[in-house]
């Protein structure tokens, strides 16, 4: 019956009606229309949390077990000079999903309660009006999920949202059809509480139904459910893990550690020091996440859609607790390479050469326009995007057109122009030539004052560009 035809895909319903009215003469046209839809690539975007540059086998790590991420790299391209737009999670993730610098999209600092730094335990009433509860990425920003929803993609988000917790900021209001996860920066992996406050959500509602189950296993479960339900139509599956971020707990035996299930801890030797024990938990959390990623890759193969699925993996910022950022200097929250250069892998069979490496200057700002172009979704008019379609660069057909990138975290500043990197921060300053000094050990400020002046000038121009942009909340004054 006509009333039984699917309503979601308006054009396909119309075609079916025409078929019934005019008979089989239009069948070839129907096949072409359906075929065109099936050719639109699926998107699987995976983000890890605080993962070190060296902490994948395919990025040189020898003490970490990541067979599935290594398999992903073997089928695609490793991006070895890939940067995020901020050295910690919240602005980095907002920038990834909007395609805009944090200073342009308005989320350019953490939406986090700082009193927990002093062991303050929030009551539920205090928490309800605290910054990390009431702040969120500006509602005027267009998320990638919103763009794809307008193009009939089915969108699921499972994991760490980190874009705000009030209903208007949550994924279901930003173009996603399905969400299971938490809205802020971190939780206890087993209780799903943030410093004692229950935080897991299904859709818009808080839930404690899975309390006691390891968070990564839950995000795996939900992502698998989504794939099983929606693999036969174009989909955008966003899996932003919180692994291997340290647990957000005030409990003395948990705080500052990375929690992991016993079977994964057993894969790594007991540490003799506290630092070694933290490293053990961190590595175990990565391997657990890697297993989850492996199951998703297996399902793509099982359903015969791997060839038509773009898979992107990256860390949201440089390595944190327990990580190894070799050969980079520094780590999470810092402006040195270890805080902003992250491992990234992209796989699109038959479109991107397998087993390749790209050392071109690229950033997370390129992800939005690249995936939009691949899906045929035109970028919204009137919005300034800070990246470009990088597919040809990943294919090795052309060099990266990116020549500069800028970072600002309160009083910490950094700029890269060509091979030159300038850092001015509480953790250190300097001018470095990344082509010969990737570890940022030799400060050339005194020897190259003209280069230093050029980078500072370019940074000042970028600052003006950001200040002149239409203001966005939650931090800008307007």
CA–CA dist 421, 423 (Å, integer) = 7
Residue 138 shares a structural domain with residue 49: yes
Residues 86 and 181 in one domain: yes
**Nearest CA to 53 among 439, 442, 441?**
439
| Burial of 212: CB neighbours in 10 Å, binned 0-12, 13-18, 19+ | exposed
No. of H helices and E strands in the chain?
A: 15, 18
Which residues have CB under 8 Å from 318's CB, separation 6+?
50, 52, 53, 87, 325, 328, 330, 331, 332, 334, 337, 338, 339, 340, 341, 342
| CA distances from residue 181 to 156, 172, 267, 348 in whole angstroms, order as listed | 11, 12, 27, 27
pLDDT score of 38: 53
Whole-angstrom CA distances from 15 to 5, 21, 35 are 11, 10, 13
DSSP per-residue letters across 93-139:
HHHHHHTS-HHHHS--S----SGGGGT----HHHHHTSHHHH-BS-T
Distances (CA, A) of 57 to 103, 275, 381, 434: 34, 21, 41, 23
Residue 194 lies in a domain: yes
Considering the domain boundaries, does residue 446 fall inside one?
yes
φ/ψ of 196, rounded to 5, equals 90, -5
Residue 65's φ and ψ, nearest 5 degrees, are: -100, 105
Domain CATH code at residue 440:
3.30.1120.10
DSSP output for 140-186: TS--HHHHHHTTT-EEEEEEE--SBSSGGGSGGGTT-SEEEEESSS-
Are the C-beta atoms of residues 344 and 92 closer than 8 Å to each other?
A: no
Distance CA 290, CA 258 (A): 15
| Strand boundaries in 195-234, DSSP class E | 197-198, 201-202, 205-206
Phi/psi-derived region of residue 333, left when phi > 0, alpha when psi is between -120 and 50, beta in every other case: left
- Do 205 and 295 belong together in one domain? yes
368, 402, 436 - which closes a domain: 402
Statement to judge: residues 324 and 411 lie in one domain: no
Which residue is it, tokens 């009606």?
A: 17
* pLDDT, position 31: 41
Judging by DSSP bridges, how do beta strands 42-48 and 193-194 pair with one another? unpaired
User: Is 478 inside a domain boundary?
Assistant: no
**Residues paired with 238 in a beta bridge:** 45, 157
Kindly give, in sequence order, each residue whose CB lies less than 8 Å from that of residue 367, ignoring residues fewer than 6 positions away.
45, 96, 99, 312, 314, 387
Let me know whether 417 and 372 are in one domain.
no
Closest CA to 416 of 373, 454, 368: 454
Specify burial of residue 35 (Cβ count, 10 A radius: 0-12, 13-18, 19+). Answer: exposed
Distances (CA, A) of 224 to 99, 154, 156: 27, 14, 11
Residue 473 lies in a domain: no
CA nearest to 40, candidates 307, 238, 352: 307
Q: What is the pLDDT of residue 39?
A: 85
> Domain check: are 394 and 461 in the same one?
no
440 Cβ neighbours under 8 A, 6+ residues apart: 328, 329, 330, 336, 337, 421, 423, 430, 432, 434
Give the domain range for residue 162. 42-402
The pLDDT value recorded for residue 146 is: 98
Q: Please provide the DSSP assignment of 268-337 as one string.
A: SPPPSSHHHHHHHHHHHHHHHHHHHHHHHHHHHHHTT-GGGEEEEEEESSS--TT---TTSS--TT-SSH
Clarify whether residues 394 and 272 are in a common domain: yes
Vertex 258 angle, CA 252 and 264, to 5°? 125
Specify whether 289 is located in the same domain as 324.
yes
115 and 253 in a common domain: yes
> Is 476 a member of any domain?
no
pLDDT mean values, one per 10 residues, the chain (478 residues)? 32 35 38 55 98 98 97 98 98 98 98 93 95 98 98 98 98 98 98 96 98 98 98 98 96 93 98 95 98 98 98 98 97 98 98 98 98 98 98 98 98 98 98 98 98 98 98 96
Q: What angle do CA 66, 69, 75 make, to 5 degrees?
A: 140
Question: Residues 416, 281: one domain?
Answer: no
> Does 474 fall in a domain?
no
Using only C-alpha atoms, what is the Rg of the chain? Answer: 23
Q: Same domain for 169 and 310?
A: yes
Residue 334 lies in a domain: yes
Residue 421 domain flag? yes
Which of 354, 380, 402 is a domain's end point? 402
How open is the CA angle 61-64-70, to the nearest 5 degrees? 70
* Euclidean distance between CA atoms 202 and 47, whole angstroms: 20
Last residue of a domain, one of 402, 420, 451: 402
Q: Are residues 13 and 108 in the same domain?
A: no
The two tokens of residue 283 are: 């590595």
Domain count along the chain: 3
Alpha-carbon distance 431 to 448, whole Å?
8
């Amino acid at each position: 019956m006509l009333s039984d035809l699917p309503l979601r895909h308006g054009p396909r319903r119309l075609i079916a009606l025409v078929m019934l009215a005019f008979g089989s003469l239009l069948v070839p046209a129907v096949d072409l229309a359906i075929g065109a839809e099936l050719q639109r690539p699926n998107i699987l975007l995976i983000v890890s949390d605080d993962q070190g540059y060296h902490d994948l086998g395919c990025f040189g790590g020898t003490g970490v077990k990541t067979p599935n991420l290594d398999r992903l790299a073997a089928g695609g391209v490793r991006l070895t000079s890939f940067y995020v737009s901020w050295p910690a999670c919240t602005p980095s993730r907002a920038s990834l999903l909007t395609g805009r610098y944090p200073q342009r999209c308005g989320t350019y600092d953490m939406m986090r309660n700082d009193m927990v730094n002093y062991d303050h335990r929030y009551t539920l009433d205090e928490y309800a009006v605290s910054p990390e509860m009431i702040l969120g990425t500006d509602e005027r920003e267009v998320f990638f999920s919103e763009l794809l929803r307008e193009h009939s993609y089915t969108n699921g988000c499972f994991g760490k949202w980190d874009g705000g917790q009030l209903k208007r900021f949550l994924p279901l209001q930003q173009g996603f059809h399905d969400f299971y996860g938490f809205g802020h920066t971190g939780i206890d992996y087993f209780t799903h509480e943030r410093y004692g406050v229950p935080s897991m959500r299904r859709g818009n509602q808080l839930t404690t139904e899975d309390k006691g189950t390891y968070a990564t296993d839950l995000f795996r479960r939900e992502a698998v459910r989504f794939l099983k339900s929606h693999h036969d139509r174009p989909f955008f599956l966003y899996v932003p893990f919180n692994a291997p971020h340290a647990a957000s707990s005030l409990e003395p035996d948990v705080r500052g550690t990375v929690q992991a299930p016993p079977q994964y801890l057993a894969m790594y030797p007991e540490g003799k020091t506290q630092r070694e024990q933290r490293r053990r938990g961190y590595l175990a959390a990565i391997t657990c996440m890697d297993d989850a990623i492996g199951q998703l890759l297996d399902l793509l193969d099982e359903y015969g859609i791997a060839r038509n699925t773009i898979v992107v993996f990256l860390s949201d910022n440089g390595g944190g607790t327990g990580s190894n950022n070799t050969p980079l200097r520094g780590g999470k929250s810092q402006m040195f390479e270890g805080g902003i250069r992250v491992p990234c892998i992209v796989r699109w069979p038959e479109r991107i050469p397998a087993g390749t490496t790209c050392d071109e200057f690229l950033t997370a700002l390129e992800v939005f326009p690249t995936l939009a172009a691949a899906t045929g979704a035109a970028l919204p008019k009137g919005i300034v995007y800070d990246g470009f379609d990088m597919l040809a660069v990943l294919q090795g057909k052309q060099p990266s057109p990116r020549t500069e990138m800028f970072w600002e975290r309160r009083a910490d500043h950094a700029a890269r122009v060509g091979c030159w990197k300038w850092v001015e921060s509480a953790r250190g300053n300097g001018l470095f030539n990344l082509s010969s000094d990737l570890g940022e050990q030799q400060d050339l400020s005194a020897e190259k004052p003209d280069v230093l002046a050029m980078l500072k000038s370019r940074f000042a121009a970028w600052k003006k560009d950001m200040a002149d942009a239409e203001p966005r909340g939650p931090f800008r004054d307007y």
